[in-house]
Structure 1
Amino acid sequence: MTSTVEYRRILLEGAAVQVVREGDELVAADGRRVKAAEASHLPPVRPSKVIAVHLNHRSRVAEFGVSLPPAPTYFHKPVSALNAHGGAVVRPEGCKYLNYEGEIGIVIGRTCRNIAPADAAAYIAGYTVANDYGLHDFRDTDAGSMLRVKGSDTLCPLGPGLVTGWDFRAKYLRTYVNGTLVQDGSTDEMEWDMHYLVADIARTITLEPGDVLLSGTPAGSRPVRPGDVVEVEAEGLGRLTNHIVTGPTAIRPDIGAQPTESEEVVSTAFGGDWEFRGVRAPRR
């Protein structure tokens, strides 16, 4: 059985440094050590792109009451959305429907193009924990691309580290809000596994070292509000922790599409389980 190694990127005395986790400590190549709990984390990788699958976990599909398409579909999160373990996730002033989505990120290790799923493992550097936050107030804009829903600043935390030698099969994936379990899934409920996703994207898009593919979230995504602490834990990969804050300014009202509270927005934010009988969702 392959042993796992966890690499992290942190700020160490003002410089971005890659370190290796040894128990409760992080060790730099020059021998400097810092307590993991005291370190200022950076995203564990520097991707040229972040690509995410729409639906993959069967519990999420059942929650929405829909059917999976015959093949996965995807969206893009710009790298300007990257965030790290311990970082603040910003809900802009005037927005209400910021949802967590605990996921596992696949990190590419070699340039990858036009490969078979059976060969994908050789192109994967390792895996990381991710939280694919969605700002559903903008669900009615961008013609289905979800650019602002999923691509706004701070909405792509990754970490704490990149773990190599990890087997993705039969691993739990859990999300907690203020210590309460809110998502409890498993990689075994994924319709398309990690190798399939990499090979599928690489048919037409070249994947470069450091690129990240987000592999989908289980049921239970719901809105969070400023002050909440959200933790995503994947078995063998660690626990990614972030807190929610309010943005200092509201969305500019004098340009562009504005946050909405349509039936689609509220239904999606609450997992498709909201009953629309002339009653609006509670303000958070």
Structure 2
Amino acid sequence: MPEHRRILLDGAVTDVTREGEELVAGDGRRVKADDAVHLPPVTPSKIIAVHLNHRSRVEEFQVRLAATPTYFHKPTSSLNAHNGAVVRPEGCRYLNYEGEVAIVIGRTCRNVSPRQAADHIAGYTIANDFGLHDFRDTDAGSMLRVKGSDTLCPLGPGLVTGWDFRGKRLTTRVNGAVVQDGGTDEMAWDMHYLVADIARTITLHPGDVLLSGTPAGSRPVQPGDLVEVSVEGLGTLANRVVAGPAAIRADVGAQPTASEEVLSTALGGDWEFRGIRAPRRD
């Protein structure tokens, strides 16, 4: 299956195609994939994410799945890339990974059926829908700072076309240890349904990204941790967590908290807030 990436090559943004372990530019220049400086494989006008979709995640939170999906928005300023650093601001403790499959729109899409949606998808890539849950109780509903803070939307390493999403395994590792192990068949709503649902009222443009949900096992990570999300047929997206150089400003706005809602979401407890234990403080 063809895989297209965007990298910095000799200082310029360059579209390349993967050939084995190398990336090849249109003019014939080659670079080893492991040595390349990656950029997000697409430049979306919007990034839309579904809340709960994987049944293992629903069971983990001990909630009842809604009859239809609900969504939130991640600003494009949250974009990050393969091997990019994910920044946890000073004073925040609950930065969680969420390995996901990302849908990339290929043709302008509005008011289509699920069957028609397939013709409007360019391909798929991997996402890590990081969440800064320290703001979970103050941004309830919108998830703006939780999911939209800078660096919290790594995509990559490439855009794969001709990929069939059915029956694919998704695995997340932290420092080599498996922490999420799920698959696309546990999704309540498949990729075509999600596209058609959003496109009823929101026009999707080429390059737009829809995040399709994460399986159970999302937990906080610490500065220095290496998080790798692997999806069968799409490769592996790797990012290292780093400590931010500055604290969240204290002279404006809500401050990071460790409320019951924050802890229950970050640590995977049920949303009735039972049996919560806080992780170690860094």
Mark the runs of 5 or more structure 2 residues left unpaired by the alignment.
Answer: none
> 1:263 touches 1:276 (CA, 8 Å); kept in 2?
no
> For residues 1-284 of structure 1, what are the structure 2 equivalents within 5 Å?
4-272=1-269, 280-284=278-282
Q: CA deviation at 1:282?
A: 2.9
The amino acid across from 2:21 in the alignment is D
SS at match of 1:20: strand
* CA deviation profile, 1:46-105 (whole Å, cap 9, x unmatched): 000000000000000000000110100000000000000000000000000000000000
Supply the RMSD in Å over aligned alpha carbons.
1.3
Distance 2:121 2:266 in 1: 32
- Note closer, same or farther for the CA distance 1:282–1:276 as it changes in structure 2 (3 Å cut): farther
Q: CA deviation at 1:143?
A: 4.0
Mark the runs of 5 or more structure 1 residues left unpaired by the alignment.
Answer: none
SS at match of 1:129: strand
- The runs of 4+ residues in structure 1 deviating greater than 2 Å are 273-282
SS at match of 1:232: strand
Distance 1:229 1:277 in 2: 28
The amino acid across from 1:283 in the alignment is R
> 1:266 touches 1:281 (CA, 8 Å); kept in 2?
no
> Which 10-residue stretch deviates more, 188-197 or 141-150?
141-150
Q: CA deviation at 1:272?
A: 1.5
Distance 2:75 2:89 in 1: 18
> 1:220 touches 1:271 (CA, 8 Å); kept in 2?
yes
Distance 2:64 2:274 in 1: 22
Distance 1:213 1:165 in 2: 17
- Note closer, same or farther for the CA distance 1:277–1:156 as it changes in structure 2 (3 Å cut): closer
The amino acid across from 2:50 in the alignment is V
TM-score, scaled to structure 1: 0.97
TM-score, scaled to structure 2: 0.97
Distance 1:54 1:187 in 2: 15
Distance 1:89 1:13 in 2: 24
